[in-house]
Structure 1
């Protein structure tokens, strides 16, 4: 073992401490989403820097601004928020170093933070954050090592007694959140794709494998209403059972590892 006083060993110790505490990042992000902080700061596009106390007054009737500020500061270090240091002074001299001066921390959204803002369709990446931190999923993470010890049973099954999608199928709230999460991820990507890609032109029957609620097919149909005659939204039965009715889209349940509906073109998105 090398000398413990070297700079490389110091950096290594700091790095492992950060990794050991990394759970604080997604859990803090989860808290911010549950408190609807991004929408409060965004306020229809204002994105005015606000203090923790100001944010709290917009999202809750009461609460602890100090704890909220700790969460905001930590996520600011990961680029979710921008921290603004405002020096206030009772004398009006903002450069004063007297004891009457104080620093107020305010926060606005970065580009990363803006992904959590609810858009005109009621979508954002917020549902995706929540979906990945539901209790049933969190219970499985401490058992990841079991996948090495005994690969015959998934950690999720060991934690919850059944496979993930079976569990989702019995929990309408989980299934609904997953659909919203997939829409929140898929819709922005599809907007960007359709702005510069015309590969769906001329396709009459289009199959979306793992299409969740069918949002992508809906958007493609809107762009090619005269040429695209049918969209097949193919996903697990318990997923498409909750998908909304969309003109031109047929929801088909099944297992892609066994068979996939035929079409002029088939596409798949991977966001898991």
Structure 2
């Protein structure tokens, strides 16, 4: 074997090992959250030294070095920053990054429920059935691993259903970071239906941002049961495949990626029926990913492709390219659309009849 081939094999080995050990990233994130490290740094008010962190964690002296190595790993993955201490330039201090700020529990934008749900041992055990699922006839991995769909599993296990609702609510709170910049999209509307809107987190944010807008949340009856609305916010239990309340616009946030093309077209047709009385004024507002490997940076593409795999195995759904979105819109009878890349790895899409 010549030297060039050896270099290529070692590069291949490095790439494989990086993937093989990649499962340690969420595990270490879980470690940090279980110990409350984001909260400790946030409450400290400034970068915290290793000794201060260890003291707050009440770690045995024999494991101080372990904490340092965990934090080095997490800092390399941009979860924390490492600085030199202001008081002692020879000592390292740890600070929050935009990522770890989203793990502080008293933050309005805390995403810890997502981490908890995606690292749950019972749920992640399903991944060991991937080969069996791929060779079999079950539409989703959950059906192979658990004997039911994810929706069925959530109905059977109230604790998981509660956590899933927390996941959706925590993600929805990110919407308010850009909603004030979307006035042209919402300001001319009098009413909107948030389809699959869960416990109403997104709808409440919209109502607060646009005081003249009335919002209806449509979700399954067991999801919206006992939820309290207001004079501008109401909850309706129903099935989006059968009927959607009439409104100026229909919002589909993180909904269509759960479904295959056939079901997406059915949902979009029901949405079209909902806005039909509004003529050209009616529209669909979609918040979801648009895969664009040529224009997106590596991190954003990685997130979208990971989400695509997650949707495939959980729901037989998918993340889509612009062309794939376009084909859905045409299949449902829509003529025009606009894409706004304003939600990080997701975009906002306006769709018109």
- 1:1-58 CA distance string (max 9 Å, x none): 97675322221111101101110001111222222211110117x242331x533443
- 1:226-264 CA distance string (max 9 Å, x none): x323x111223333237x423132222344344433321
Query: Could you tell me the TM-score, scaled by structure 2's length?
Result: 0.63
- 1:197-230 CA distance string (max 9 Å, x none): 33222322211122122111112112232x323x
Cα shift at 1:150:
1.0
Alpha carbons of structure 1 residues 66 and 166: separation in structure 2 relative to 1, 3 Å? farther
Query: Could you tell me the TM-score, scaled by structure 1's length?
Result: 0.80
- 1:179-213 CA distance string (max 9 Å, x none): 22222221122331224433222322211122122
Q: Equivalent of 1:150, from 136, 157, 170?
A: 136
Alignment partner, residue 48 of structure 1: 47
Higher relative contact order (CA 8 A, sep 6+): 1
Alignment partner, residue 159 of structure 1: 145
Q: Distance in 2 between matches of 1:57 and 1:142?
A: 39
Alignment partner, residue 187 of structure 1: 173
Q: Structure 2: give runs of 5+ residues left out of the alignment.
A: 255-287, 289-306, 308-353
Q: Distance in 1 between matches of 2:181 and 2:148?
A: 41
Alignment partner, residue 72 of structure 1: 71
Q: Distance in 1 between matches of 2:192 and 2:128?
A: 41
Q: Structure 1: give runs of 5+ residues left out of the alignment.
A: 95-102
Cα shift at 1:86:
5.9
CA contact (8 A) 2:221 2:237 kept: yes
Three-state SS of the structure 2 residue aligned to 1:23 is helix
CA contact (8 A) 2:41 2:96 kept: yes
Name the structure where helix makes up a greater proportion of residues: 2
- Count of residue pairs the alignment pairs up: 253
Q: Distance in 2 between matches of 1:88 and 1:250?
A: 54
Alignment partner, residue 251 of structure 1: 235
- 1:55-76 CA distance string (max 9 Å, x none): 3443x55554443333222111
Alpha carbons of structure 1 residues 261 and 88: separation in structure 2 relative to 1, 3 Å? closer
Q: Distance in 1 between matches of 2:15 and 2:244?
A: 45
Structural RMSD (CA): 2.9
CA contact (8 A) 1:49 1:84 kept: no
Alignment partner, residue 195 of structure 2: 209
